[in-house]
Amino acid sequence: MGLLQLPGEVLDEIIDFAVPDGLENFALSCKLIYARASSQIFHHNRRTRIGRYAAQPSNDRGKPLLLLFEISRDPSVADYIDVLNLRNPNPDDNASGSTQLTDEFRMEEEAMDGIKNMVTQSAWLESAGVNVEDWWDAMMDEDETVDDEDDFEGVPCTVVSLLSQLPNLRSLQLPETWVQFRPESALTDRERQLLYVLDALVAYSNAGAKGVGRPLQHLETLLPFSPSGYEARAALQSVEPFLALKGLRELFGVALIAVDDSYTGIPFRWRSDHAISSLRRIELAHCCIDADGISEFLSRTPQLEIFRYSHETKWHGCEHDWNAGAFIGAIARHCGATITEMAITIDEMYGDIINGASSFLAFNNLRTLEVDVQIFCGPPLESGQRRGLAAMVPDGETPWTEHDIPCIASMLPPSIEHMVINTDFPQSEAQALRSLLKNIPQQQAERLPQLQTVIIRQFNDTSGEEVFGIPGHVHVVDGNAELKLQRSMLPLWKRNFSTRVGGIAYT
């Protein structure tokens, strides 16, 4: 029997089954199916518009509650939201315009009752052991401040309630106000309640069989929610509850801190002894993390393949001096066998490199590496020497200098294929570059059979080509040709990062 010979009620079942991803193609397959699906097409188009609104940055602070309202009156809307963007737009963003959605529902008792019933009857809320009326009151307290510039502190309870309704969500960008959520600190009763509920939601998602359609079950990517800058800082701990999601594969962060100095830093720790993350990619820009912080974080990421990090000194001189050598050593201890792509660069650092990078040999599957010259500008850990505010040279030893930096090729594993070095030459770093590039042809021939390219990315110039260029081995390019970028965007990975996350906001 052909498709068109099927009974009408069977065709209707097939059409319903095609929603949302396959409806358009199926409806366009023939006139009969299109006519039969006219009602579903109308609803499909409206749900699609709402899904697009959810995916775009917006100045509407009430967006989470508005989306909850749309889901409460049409539960199928939730199936159309696979990208949720709750950040404010950057100046160059194409922020969402007219959506044909309205916030007048806030004045309608029936509409608000519909949202309340949907939220308070969720299984995950009960399992968290919180009072559902208190939870709803918290959401309403948040909503009362969305139009108040002075009192607005975010809508975290409303955001988590929205997340609990989204079974197909794959990409999440939390609102900027999420920076205020710091689970490592002394929590208020409401913040503790929020953490319990979020933990319950993650546990509920992880407990479901594959394909069941539980909330957050398909979440793969977390995008940045904080701007960058000296004053901008968010706890890496603030995303820790999400890291236990079985499906999470990518973390992109800006201005995250993981430093336990009992003053300017914000520590990171795994709250469960059994937590294991499925992350494959971690990219952290304008962040401030020390060796202990990154060690704790990566101790539970056994499948990590891509790691990229740029360092920035934060508020009150947090990590004024930074130990790049210890930082890289911590990465190697936990993920040296799995990482294939890595970048370590510096956005802004007011102090010194305490100990510099001296070896990447522990990354025995590393294929691509991008670094700033500056990360090598400190004595190796094994020397016992230190630079910075707590500088030290053991008695009787000669102070380390940039002349002592070994050839970069001697630091790399045989698996390496592509190497990029970013530099401020000729303003600085001349001697460090000379040391890094000495004996490149010989080292490459003897040790690096897979190495294809060594690129020097120079900021606003190519004068280094005459000094450091080696035909067939080292090529110098202008990393800022005609782009007029600030120095922190010289690394190629940072540009790709900015494109991927929808731009980096600066404070």
**DSSP notation for 146-195:** TT-TTT----HHHHHHHHTT-TT--EEE--GGGGG--TTSPPPHHHHHHH
CA dist., res. 253 & res. 126, Å (int): 31
Q: Are 280 and 253 in contact (CB under 8 A)?
A: no
**Residue 27: its pLDDT value, please?**
52
CA dist., res. 340 & res. 335, Å (int): 10
Q: What is the DSSP letter of 392?
A: B
Q: Are 411 and 360 in contact (CB under 8 A)?
A: yes
Angle at Cα 378 formed by Cα 400 and Cα 252, nearest 5°? 170
Report the candidate in 235, 314, 225 with the shortest Cα–Cα distance to residue 505: 225
Written as six digits, the tokens of 436 are: 């890094």
The full set of domain ranges for the chain reads: 54-219, 226-501
**Residue 84: its pLDDT value, please?**
98
Instruction: Indicate the pTM of the whole model.
Output: 0.91
**Residue 419: its pLDDT value, please?**
96
Written as six digits, the tokens of 150 are: 């002075």
Please enumerate, as own/partner, the contacts of 397-405 that have beta carbons within 8 Å and a separation of 24 or more.
401/431, 402/377, 402/431, 402/432, 402/435, 403/431, 403/435, 404/379, 404/435, 405/356, 405/376, 405/377, 405/432, 405/435, 405/436
Report the candidate in 21, 171, 197, 146 with the shortest Cα–Cα distance to residue 85: 171
pLDDT in tens, the chain (507 residues): 455 554 545 555 555 555 555 555 555 555 555 555 555 666 778 888 999 999 999 888 889 999 999 999 999 999 999 999 999 876 555 554 445 566 789 899 999 999 999 999 988 888 899 999 999 999 999 998 887 776 777 889 999 999 999 999 999 999 999 998 887 666 788 888 999 999 999 999 998 766 667 899 999 999 999 999 999 999 999 999 999 999 999 999 999 999 999 889 999 999 999 999 999 999 999 999 999 999 999 999 999 999 999 999 999 999 999 999 999 999 999 999 999 999 999 999 999 999 999 999 999 999 999 999 999 999 999 999 999 999 999 999 999 999 999 999 999 999 999 999 999 888 788 999 999 999 888 888 999 999 998 999 998 888 888 888 888 778 888 877 767 788 899 999 999 999 999 999 887
**Residue 93: its pLDDT value, please?**
53
User: CA–CA distance from 411 to each of 265, 364, 372, 405 (Å)?
Assistant: 31, 11, 15, 10
For the chain, what is the total number of helices (H) and then of strands (E)? Answer: 18, 13
**Residue 239: its pLDDT value, please?**
97
CA dist., res. 177 & res. 161, Å (int): 16
Q: What kind and span of H or E run contains 335? A: helix 324-335
How many CB atoms within 10 Å of residue 343?
Answer: 24
**Residue 477: its pLDDT value, please?**
87
